[in-house]
């Protein structure tokens, strides 16, 4: 059980990092005019 929670916590940290990166990705893609990057990630 503890190992499972540890794995979930790790995945959560990676997810939070990616969420932090998303705004800069959106700015980059919009400045390059590549809207298809936004499509699949926004649900």
Give per-residue pLDDT as tens, 1-43.
688 888 888 988 888 887 778 778 777 776 665 555 555 555 5
Helix (H) or strand (E) holding 14: helix 2-31
Residues 6+ apart with CB under 8 A from 22: 41
Residues 20, 29: Cα–Cα separation, whole Å: 15
Q: Is residue 23 part of a domain?
A: yes
Q: What is the pLDDT of residue 33?
A: 58
Full-model pTM: 0.36
For residue 31, give its domain range. 17-43
Q: What is the pLDDT of residue 25?
A: 76
Task: Please check whether residue 35 is in contact with residue 29, taking contact to mean a CB–CB distance below 8 angstroms.
Answer: yes
Please say whether the dihedral angle defined by the alpha carbons of residues 8, 14, 17 and 18, taken in this order, is positive or negative: negative
Q: Is residue 1 part of a domain?
A: no
């Amino acid at each position: 059980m503890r190992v499972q929670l540890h794995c979930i916590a790790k995945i959560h940290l990676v997810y939070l990092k990616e969420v932090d990166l998303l705004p800069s990705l959106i700015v980059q893609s919009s400045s390059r005019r590549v809207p298809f990057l936004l499509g699949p990630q926004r649900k």
